[in-house]
């Protein structure tokens, strides 16, 4: 039984705690929050036997095997440093870091400590994406030529995302990291993204953020394929999670936000879906969100690979590569030209 400690007590920490319920080889063994009341409430909500306000205390506890970092972007580096110093295996939520340089430092820390590490990029584990990936890998649409992916909603629910200077960026960093890694997953990680062109602007939330709330990026791959990435905090009407893959002999479409349950309601019925803008009228609840979005499958993969002493399909090296690609996108936003992706450490 792998004993998991979660650093954090917010929305994403809840997602990871929920996903552990689907992993029979693991159990939640501890959690942290800077706020004692929140740490205690999280422990009670998820039946965690140990809670603390000190990440170092949790990481040093001999009963913890694997540490999951579910903290704001700016806290990832220090959390990795603490967990690696304690010799713990580490899973870190997306994005790995705020910049490629910061991600390179995180990768250096775990490599020098010799600890196992996994990059928690849920999009490549979602059932819809995984089914499409199997079909594409089997040659169902011939040679994959282009990918268009869109993730959009009306804005983050956590305040720390709105502080672009501290968080490292806006919508592109927050959500584009998902679709960048989806593109790498489909086109092949040995097929490097060599150039990026991007546009970003603050269209709707200028009163909340200095970062972009809307962005589009084009990623050019070494073998000539193209990925088009769209990310937005300015779109109302709930979550949008869509991928379109075009091949030489067909195409595939996934839409994780499309639900088998939908309807028109006149009275609120409680929680419907993440980022829902309304609780009456036409609604599209997503049943079992942590499974629909790939959190459960992701956590099961990490726990099983760690238990077997095997490298997961998503590591901190992947997180670092994604940060380097996003760095090129942000440089392109400023320059207005294609920018080369720089991945040297």
Q: Does any domain span residue 151? A: yes
Q: Does any domain span residue 333? A: yes
Q: Does any domain span residue 345? A: no
The average pLDDT across 242-262 equals 92
Asked if residue 344 has pLDDT above 80, the reply is no
Same domain assignment for residues 175 and 211: yes
Same domain assignment for residues 172 and 112: no
CA neighbor of 120 nearest in space, from 242, 331, 294 = 294
Same domain assignment for residues 59 and 167: no
Residue 119 has a pLDDT of: 98
pLDDT band at 68 (very low <50, low <70, confident <90, very high): very high
pLDDT band at 278 (very low <50, low <70, confident <90, very high): confident
Q: Does any domain span residue 305? A: yes
Query: CATH no. for residue 50?
Result: 3.40.50.720
Distance CA(96)–CA(104), nearest Å, equals 10
Query: CATH no. for residue 336?
Result: 3.30.360.10
Residue 163 has a pLDDT of: 92
What's the number of domains the chain is made of? 2
Same domain assignment for residues 181 and 149: yes
CB-side neighbour CA atoms (13 Å) of 320 = 21
Same domain assignment for residues 148 and 274: yes
Distance CA(228)–CA(183), nearest Å, equals 9
More confident residue, 284 or 205: 205
Distance CA(89)–CA(144), nearest Å, equals 35
CB-side neighbour CA atoms (13 Å) of 90 = 35
Mean pLDDT across the chain: 95
Same domain assignment for residues 184 and 330: yes
Residue 276 has a pLDDT of: 82
CA neighbor of 173 nearest in space, from 165, 146, 236 = 165
Q: Are 43 and 95 in contact (CB under 8 A)?
A: no
pLDDT band at 221 (very low <50, low <70, confident <90, very high): very high
Residue 15 has a pLDDT of: 95
Residue 141 has a pLDDT of: 98
Residue 239 has a pLDDT of: 85
pLDDT band at 171 (very low <50, low <70, confident <90, very high): very high
| Cα Rg, the chain, nearest whole Å | 20
Residue 238 has a pLDDT of: 81
Q: Are 34 and 53 in contact (CB under 8 A)?
A: yes
Q: pLDDT digit string (tens) for 323-341?
A: 999 999 999 999 999 999 9
Same domain assignment for residues 50 and 118: yes
Asked if residue 273 has pLDDT above 90, the reply is no
pLDDT band at 126 (very low <50, low <70, confident <90, very high): very high
More confident residue, 282 or 222: 222
Same domain assignment for residues 270 and 302: no
Which residues span the domain enclosing 24? 2-123+296-313
Asked if residue 345 has pLDDT above 80, the reply is no
Q: In the 8-state DSSP scheme, what is residue 138? A: T
CA neighbor of 198 nearest in space, from 26, 8, 326 = 326
Asked if residue 262 has pLDDT above 90, the reply is no
Q: Are 93 and 29 in contact (CB under 8 A)?
A: no
Q: Does any domain span residue 318? A: no
Distance CA(31)–CA(8), nearest Å, equals 7
Same domain assignment for residues 265 and 306: no
Same domain assignment for residues 157 and 263: yes
pLDDT band at 50 (very low <50, low <70, confident <90, very high): very high
């Amino acid at each position: 039984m792998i004993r998991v400690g979660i650093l954090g007590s917010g929305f994403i920490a809840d997602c990871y705690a929920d996903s552990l319920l689907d992993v029979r080889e693991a159990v939640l063994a501890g959690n942290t929050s800077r706020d004692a009341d929140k740490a205690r409430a999280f422990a009670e909500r998820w039946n965690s036997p140990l809670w603390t306000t000190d990440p170092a205390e949790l990481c040093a506890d001999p009963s913890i095997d694997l540490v999951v970092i579910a903290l704001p972007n700016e806290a990832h580096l220090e959390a990795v440093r603490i967990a690696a110093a304690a010799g713990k295996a580490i899973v870190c939520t997306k994005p790995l870091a705020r910049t490629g340089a910061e991600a390179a430092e995180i990768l250096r820390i775990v490599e020098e400590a010799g600890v196992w590490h996994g990059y928690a990029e849920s999009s490549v584990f979602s059932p819809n994406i995984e089914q499409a990936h199997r079909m594409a890998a089997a040659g169902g649409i011939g040679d994959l030529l282009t990918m268009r992916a869109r993730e959009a909603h009306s804005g983050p629910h956590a305040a720390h995302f709105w502080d672009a200077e501290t968080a490292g960026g806006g919508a592109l960093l927050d959500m584009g990291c998902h679709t960048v890694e989806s593109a790498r997953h489909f086109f092949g990680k040995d097929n490097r993204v060599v150039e990026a062109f991007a546009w970003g602007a603050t269209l709707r939330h200028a009163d909340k953020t200095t970062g972009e709330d809307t962005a589009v990026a084009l990623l050019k791959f070494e073998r000539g394929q193209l990925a088009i990435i769209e990310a937005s905090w300015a779109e109302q009407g709930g979550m949008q999670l869509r991928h379109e893959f075009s091949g030489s002999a067909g195409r595939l479409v996934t839409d994780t936000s499309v639900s088998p349950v939908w309807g028109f309601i006149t009275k609120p019925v409680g929680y419907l879906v993440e980022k829902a803008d309304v609780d009456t009228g036409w609604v599209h609840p997503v049943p079992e969100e942590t499974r629909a979005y790939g959190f459960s499958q992701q956590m099961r993969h990490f726990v099983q690979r760690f238990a077997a002493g095997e490298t997961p399909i998503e590591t901190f090296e992947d997180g670092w590569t994604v940060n380097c690609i996003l760095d090129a996108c942000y440089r392109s936003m400023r320059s207005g030209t294609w920018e080369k992706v720089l991945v040297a450490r």
